[in-house]
Amino acid sequence: MSLIVNDWEMERAMIADLILKELYEFHMDEFYSLTRVLLSAKIFTKGYNDLFLVAKQMEWDNYIELKGSDLNPLAKLSHKGILFCEVSSYAYPDYPIITHKGT
C-alpha cells in the first residue's frame, strides 16, 4: 500500500520524522538520497518541491546537511539532528523518533 500525500500540512511532520529516522538508523555518517528514502517507504508527494520544502525546513532547523539538486537532494544527519531524534520528533514533540529500549 502506498501513501499519497494530499494534505501537505498534516503529513509534513511525519515525512520529516521518517527521513530523520532512516538517516539515523541506516545512513548516519553519509549523505543519502531523500528521494530513495521516500520511495522505499512508498510515499509519493505531489511534486519534487514538496520534498525539497521538507528538506529545507530540516536544514534550517540544523538537523541535516543538504547537498545535491532540488530534484534529488542528498542529506546527512547533523549532530543536532542526532540529538533531536533521541529526544523529540516533528509529529509528536514529546516522543523521540528513536527509542533505545532497555537503557
Q: What's the pLDDT at 1?
A: 45
Q: Are 61 and 53 in contact (CB under 8 A)?
A: no
Calpha distance 103→100 (Å, rounded): 6
Domains of the chain, CATH where assigned:
8-87 (1.10.10.10)
| Of residues 56, 102, 49, the one with CA closest to residue 75 | 56
Q: Residues 58-74: pLDDT tens digits?
A: 999 999 999 988 778 89
Predicted model pTM? 0.83
Q: What is the pLDDT of residues 12-60, one digit of tens each?
A: 888 899 999 999 999 989 999 998 988 888 877 666 677 888 899 999 9
Q: What is the DSSP letter of 101?
A: T
